[in-house]
Chains A and B, each alone.
Chain A
Amino acid sequence: MAVTYEKRLVKPPQTNKWMDLLFLGQSPDKYFRNLITPFNIIAAIIMAVGIPLTYLRFTEGMGAVSNLTNTNPWGFWIGFDVLAGVALAAGGFTIGAAVFIFGLKKYHLVLRPAILTGMLGYMFVVVGLGFDLGRPWRLPYPMFVSHGVTSVMFEVGWCVALYLTVQMLEFLPTAFESLYLRKLRHWAVKLTIGVTILGITLSTLHQSALGSLFLIAPTKIHPLWYTPYLPIYFFISAIVAGLTMVIFESSLSHRFFHSRINPASNADLHDITIGLGKAASAVLFAYFCVKWLGVAHHHVFGYLNSPMGYWFLVEVVGFVLGPCLLLLWAVRNENVRWIRLGAVWGILGVVLNRINVSMVAMNWQADEIYIPSWMEVWISMMVITTGILVFRFIVNRAPVLAPHPDFIGEPEY
C-alpha cells in the first residue's frame, strides 16, 4: 500500500537512510516484487529490443539500423529526439521565467517538476544526439578542440551543454534536500536567481538557434516552411511546448504520484492549470499570426493549393489554431480536463512542426523519400522510456512534487 503524504510528514526512524532512500523504506525483496507492473513489463520489452539495436548501431554503423542517406542525413533522431525533445524540455525556463522574473509565485508548485522534466529532457536529447553522431566521446570536440565559430551548431552545442549544467544547478536544492545536506542546500538556494537568469538567456539563444540551423538550406526546404523567421518560430513554439508540457506532466504526476502530492495543493494545481492554459492559448494565437506573416511576407500563398500546402494547413490550422481555440474555450469555462486535452494537442502540434521542418519539408523535391526504419523509431522509444523511468526513480525519492517535510518554511530562493 502506498504511503500517503500526511504519513510521510511523520519522520520515520532512520535505520539506514541510504537503503531507505533506495528501496523506498521497503525490504529489497518486496521492492523488486513490487516492480512487476504492466508499465515495467512494457518498458523491459522496449529495453530488451533497444539495447541490442544500440550495440548494432555503434558496432555496425548508422546504415545498419537507419534509413539515413547522404540525401537525407537528418532523420527521425534529429527531428524527433533532438528538435522536438529540446522544445518539449522548455518547461524549466518558461516556469522559471514566470516565477523568478515575472514574480508569478503561485507557479512555484510546478517549478521543481518542470526543472526536472527539462533537465532529463536535455540529458536524453544528448543521448539521442549520440545515436545520430555515432562517436559520443567526440561531443566536446567543437567546444574544446576544433572550434567552428562560424557555425550555428557551435552555438547550439555550447548553449545546450551550458544549459544542462544550469539545470543541474537549479535542481541541486531538491537533490540536497533528499540527502539531508542542509548547508549545501542553503548554498545552492543562493544561486537560484542567477542560474535562472542564465538559463532563460541560454534557452532563448539555443531554442531559436535550432531554427537558425535550417536557414542554411533555403533551396531544400519547402517555401511554406522556409522563412528567415524560422528562429522566431522555433522560439515561440518552444514556449508553447514548455507551457503545455508542464500542464501535461503535472496532470500525469497528479494521477500516478498521488501519494507524493500534498492533497491541500489540489486547488492550487487547478488554478495553475487554468493559468498555464491561458498563457499557452495566447502564445499559440501569437504563433498562428506570426506563421501567416511569414507566408505573406514571402509571397508563397500560391503554394497553399498543393498537397504540401494542404499539409501546411493541417499543421497551422489543425495543430496550432485547433489547440489554441480549445484552450481558449476550456479556460473560459474553467474546465481543467479540456485544458489538459488541449495541452496534449498543442504538444503534438509542436512535434509535428519539428518533423515537418526537418523531414517532410526538407528535400521535398528530391526523388529519394526518407521514411524512418522501425529500428530508428524503436531506439527513440527506448530513449524516451529511459527518461520516464529515471523521472519516476527521482520523483519517488526526492521532494519534487511537494516540499520536503524537514525543509518546510526554509527559503526556496
Chain B
Amino acid sequence: MEFNTLQDFLLTTEIYSYLTAIASVIAFGLFWRVLNKKPNRKKNKPSDREIKTEINIHRSYQ
C-alpha cells in the first residue's frame, strides 16, 4: 500500500482511531488513580461549619 501524504496514511490505516482508543484507556486509568487517591481531608466527616448549619436548620424547625 502506498500513501501520498501523512493524512492519507492516518485515514487509510485508521491508525489514529486506534491511537485515540489507547490514549482514552490510559487517560481513564490515570483519572481513576487520581479519583481513588486518599482524600485531601483526613476525616471523612462534615466540617464543623457544616455541622453547625445542620444543627441550626434543625433547631429552627422545632
Which residues does A use to contact B, with CB under 8 Å? 1-2, 4, 258-259, 263, 266-267, 270-271, 274, 278, 281-282, 285-286, 289-290, 292-293, 295-297, 299, 328, 331-334, 336
Contact = CB atoms under 8 A, between A and B. Distances in A.
Contacts of A293: 17, 20-21, 24
Interface of B: 11, 14, 16-17, 19-21, 24-25, 27-28, 31-32, 34-35, 37, 39-41, 44-46, 50, 54, 57-58, 61-62
Closest 7 CB pairs of A and B: A289-B24, A296-B20, A296-B17, A297-B17, A285-B31, A333-B40, A334-B41
A258 B57 contact: yes
A401 to B, nearest CB: 14
B30 to A, nearest CB: 10
B61 A296 contact: no
Contacts of A285: 27-28, 31
Given A292-B24, A293-B21, A296-B16, A266 B54 contact: yes
A118 B21 CA distance: 34
Contacts, number: 69
B56 to A, nearest CB: 11
A333 B9 CA distance: 46
B9 to A, nearest CB: 13
A331 B39 contact: yes
Q: DSSP majority for the A interface?
A: helix
Given A296-B16, A336-B50, A2 B61 contact: yes
Contacts of A4: 58, 61-62
Contact of A258 (B27, B32, B35, B58): B58
6 contacts: A258-B61, A278-B35, A289-B25, A290-B24, A299-B11, A331-B39
Nearest to B43: A334
B28 A289 contact: yes
A328 B34 contact: yes
A148 to B, nearest CB: 35
